[in-house]
Chains A and B, each alone.
Chain A
């Protein structure tokens, strides 16, 4: 069969779209470049919203990108089950779009934090984490200014009770996120938001590990098996 096609949306100010496309290719799928100003998902099988500072993150991180033309199609497709992974700025866009609950605020320490971060996979049943096992520990880079995940207590409770925390920070919480939350998923499990950057940990030459590749091989496996 043809390779699975995974779209990567580029917004003005996206930084990690090329790394995300490279990770998709290394995982065995065909990356498809999608443009923020198009109303066209080009029939892709899944979408990655990459990191960066889309539209300069003016106003709030992800607030303006949410209204980019392509988001109309993306929000509708995600509602119909299209697998979507939002990394860092992509996570912020997913929260602003209400595809995921909560919001991401400036880091509690007010610094941009960039380091290799230890994480624990809390949910290995999403479209993007099935190649991991629950409790598996990963080291992948974190680099953000607005990574403090916040939601009201009842939402946090619901996320915890229903197993919708996808990953948690270990050792150090880099941004003051509630309950050390590094990533969450929607109720259906097709939409995942993650603050750290798995696409920067897919090759030993450039990353601290290759632990991030599993997010991309998970989706490829799901698409091929489908």
Chain B
């Protein structure tokens, strides 16, 4: 069985207050040198067969229609 990962991130121009809240906490914890944090989502699709071309094409379709909203988010599909 293969596993396909879909990473979904807010587009760079979209404000990410969750990431900002995390970034603000880091210096207080003693972690220096991080100038920004963006928070995203990771999905793992478990397939009943190999991650062949057709499966990846379908994973892209799933990402585009449901997992990500292309108005605000970008996505990347890869085999784990």
With A59-B66, A63-B66, A67-B66 known to touch, is A176 a contact of B15 (CB < 8 Å)?
Answer: yes
Q: Provide the A136-154 mask, 1 if CB < 8 A to any CB of B, else 0.
A: 0000000000001011100
Q: Is B45 an interface position by the 8 A CB rule?
A: no
Chain A contacts for B10, CB-based, 8 A: 105
Q: Which A residues touch B72, using CB under 8 A?
A: 103, 105, 150
Are A106 and B18 CB-contacts (below 8 A) given A59-B66, A63-B66? yes
Q: Does B17 contact A (CB under 8 A)?
A: yes
- Asked whether A76 is an interface residue with its Cβ less than 8 Å from the other chain, the reply is no
> For residue A103, which residues in chain B have a CB less than 8 angstroms away from its CB?
69, 71-72
Main secondary structure of the interface of A (DSSP, over half): loop
The chain B residue with its CB closest to the CB of A104 is B72
- Nearest CB of B to A70, in Å: 18
Q: In the complex, which residues 76-121 of chain A have their Cβ closer than 8 Å to any Cβ of chain B? A: 95-96, 101-103, 105-110
Instruction: Assign chain B's interface to a size class.
Output: 10 to 19
Cβ of A60 under 8 Å from chain B: yes
User: B14–A150 contact, CB under 8 A?
Assistant: yes
Once the chains bind, are A63 and B18 in contact (CB under 8 Å)? Answer: no
Within the complex, which residue of A101, A105, A107 is in contact with B14, where a contact is CB–CB below 8 Å? Answer: A105
Whole-angstrom distance between the Cβ of B74 and the nearest chain A Cβ:
13
1/0 per residue B59-74: CB within 8 Å of A?
Answer: 0000000110101100
Structural contact, A102 and B66, CB atoms closer than 8 A: no
B15 touches A108 (CB 8 A): yes
A176 CA / B15 CA spacing, docked (Å): 10
A interface with B by C-beta (< 8 Å): 59-60, 63-64, 67, 95-96, 101-103, 105-110, 148, 150-152, 176
Closest 5 interchain pairs by CB?
A103-B71, A103-B72, A110-B17, A108-B17, A103-B69
Q: List, sorted by A's number, 6 A–B pairs whose CB atoms are closer than 8 Å.
A: A63-B66, A95-B71, A101-B71, A108-B17, A152-B71, A176-B15
